[in-house]
Chains A and B, each alone.
Chain A
């Protein structure tokens, strides 16, 4: 069964550093998403990406964040100048065409900012 894969599974970084979280969506999917889950809180939408551009972003997704699909297979989330409060589990998801399709999630990257 096709799956969404994320690397790394766990990343520890120092405050102020930049991190790049990587995702390989399911190959024929067209819509890509990043969500995050701060420990003990709900899963929150960050950004959606379609046709090589951001289609929607949440209030959380400020100038500190950026996404890219550099080579047609990877989908990355870059967090510049990380803060302690960026510590969370970050999930990538992808979805096929049409509204009546479900999103498939990766296993997540646990980011710890120290």
Chain B
């Protein structure tokens, strides 16, 4: 398994602005996932992008994947105070037994 490296470590924006978070990884993957963790809670799956996809949308979320650069970005548009949370990327290989490990994550604060 490998863990992604998220950047920046912390991000503070005003409500309504867009938030861009980046993730880099080191070895080949089958897909890459983004998770959100609210304080004191478990992780919530946000979106999965497969290695043969370049961009994916889900509501206010937009994820890109560049396998040549081994990087991904998560864009949250029109941010809300409720988006305040920690965000983690998880570059993964397919398989229910494959371990999922996490980097330090990004702490996003959205000011009302």
Are A and B associated in one complex? no
Interface positions of A (Cβ within 8 A of B):
none
Interface positions of B (Cβ within 8 A of A):
none
